[in-house]
Amino acid sequence: MATANPFSLWILLLIAAISYPTSLLAKSDVYIVHMDLSAMPRAFADHHSWYEATLSSIKDGGNGVATITTTKPSYLIYTYNNAIHGFAASLSPLELDLLKHLPGFVSSTLDVLLKADTTHTPDFLGLNNSNSGPWPASNYGEDVIIGLVDSGIWPESASFRDDGMTQVPNKWKGECVSGTDFNSTMCNKKLIGARFFNKGIKAHSPDLNFSMNSARDTDGHGTHTSSIAAGNYVKGASCFGYARGSARGMAPKARIAMYKAMRDDTFYASDVIAAIDKAISDGMDVLSLSLGNTASNFYDDPIAIASVAAMEKGIFVAASAGERGALPVHSAQCRTLATYCGASLYPGNSSLTRVPLVFMGDCNDLNNVEGKIVVCESTYLFWASADNIDDQITSGAAGGIFLYVGNRIEPHIHLSFPAVVVSMEEEEGQAIFNYINTSHDPRATMKFPYTRIGTKAAPRVAISSSRGPSTICPNILKPDLMAPGSLVLGSWSPISPIVDDDGSTQMFSDFNIIYGTSMACPHAAGVAALLKGAPQPFDLLS
């Protein structure tokens, strides 16, 4: 292949730049650029130097020169070698247009904003048999490495102790990267690796202050998902007494590697791809992605492309399907191994005995309900109804019974625990109405003594879970599987408040109960680790 003449290339770019309208000189955006590796001139030592020279040649409207060595600062945000072939860079419309005319350019995608979409679930999934099944067959996932792209991890959590763990397997090629309040000695035989990726966020918000520039989790989400997938045994775990028991992950002896790419519940695709890129080269077996994208086409979804690259290298990729319910316009994407709630679990040991019971209609006016169990009825959709449940708690009501006519709703997890709230079917609600209307002093008792296992109502899809069909490829059934995702107990960052009443009242815990396909995803990843660790592993990608 002929090598481009740098001088002629500079002349062409300069002529093109003179004729461009002022509108193309607008402020820059971050783009993820795919490149054809075969187009790299032989004079360059590696792809990184080629990308640097290419960007140098188009900066300032084409006033640079594509040379092998340059004294200009680096314009690259990331170089990708495994998840995709290409780079992330901040480009103006003019620079992007110039780049499109250079050898090796394949495509570009605007960097997009992504969102983050247990004690008893191993029993519910039938993993607790010590004589047969996935746990003993795989030795509890021993030596299988699960990577999670998330908000980071709290390394001191009891879920990540390495009691009973063997030496780190030789296939592991990753690192435990030091940073703010996090050093390499915090990794062990359970948490074997930790990296953080925030160059994409910084490119979008250069003035943003990073108080925790490390893999340490200040949010709680990543600590929670990690403990679900592969947390070690923790006796007496609970969230303020709820779901009390011995906590452990789906694959208790699997290894954990954290790739922090989330800040304040937000991911950028450029950071996520960088995380996946490193996870592939680090020697991952399973990858858990509790995050969502709304791309309308495969070629516009860089996370989908990166996931396929990981799967082609034998890595099982589990991804959350999102919290968009049953509306077709919000269907799950084809790329996801969508995972959903597998049970209706009401954990805890709170109870109310013979408390006054009052019916308040749609509960838009909650005066004089303090100390009472409030009964509400609504035909609203889940999200609107959840606001009413929040109102019940803040009004001082002792508890709440929420009747959703025609379907079932689940308590919104953003309620401040401990909160005594239940939902009921229409038939059950009618019995309560009859009791209230025929009694001169209606009272009720509510008990939450334990989590029920094996109830006939489970499994069922949580009302908030995306469930398909996919708008991209309706001929392919999605989601692929369901997994527990409703009211799941998991480890938590102790500096992230579980209860925050506008800052006036804050409560903290080492464990938290939350819900969503973000919780279902690591359940699937953990079970996949068990199957991969079995002597005769299943072909999970067939």
DSSP for 456-497 reads TT-S---TTS-----SS-TTS---------SSEEEE--TTS-
Distance between CA atoms of residues 490 and 512, nearest Å? 6
- Please report where in the chains the tokens 């004589």 appear, as a residue: 131
Nearest C-alpha neighbor of 205 from the set 23, 30, 31? 30
User: Letter for the amino acid at 471?
Assistant: T
User: Which member of 143, 224, 518, 523 is catalytic?
Assistant: 518
Q: Are 415 and 388 in contact (CB under 8 A)?
A: no
Considering the candidates 85, 120, 221, 412, report the single residue annotated as catalytic: 221
Rounded to an integer, what distance in angstroms lies between the CA atom of residue 91 and that of residue 98? 10
| Structure tokens, 266 | 């937000």
Three-class HEC string of 278-317: HHHHHCCCEEEECCECCCCCHHHCHHHHHHHHHHHCCCEE
3-class DSSP assignment, residue 532: helix
**Contact by Cβ (8 Å): 56, 66:** yes
Q: Is the dihedral of CA 511, 516, 518, 521 positive or negative?
A: positive
Angstrom distance (rounded) from CA 429 to CA 377: 9
Q: Which of 117, 143, 150, 301 is catalytic?
A: 150
Q: Is 518 a catalytic residue?
A: yes
Structure tokens at 419: 């909160």
DSSP string for residues in 386-421: HHHHHHHHHTT-SEEEEEETTS-----TTS-SS--E
* Residue 301, token pair as written in the block: 């979804």
Residue 150 falls in the annotated catalytic set:
yes
b/e for 82-113, b at 16 or more Cβ within 10 A?
A: bbbbbbbbbbbbbbbbbbeebbbbebbbebbe
Active site residue 523: no
466/71 Cα distance (integer angstroms):
50
Partners of 407 in the beta sheet?
Answer: none
Residue 234, SS3 per DSSP: strand
Active site residues: 150, 221, 518
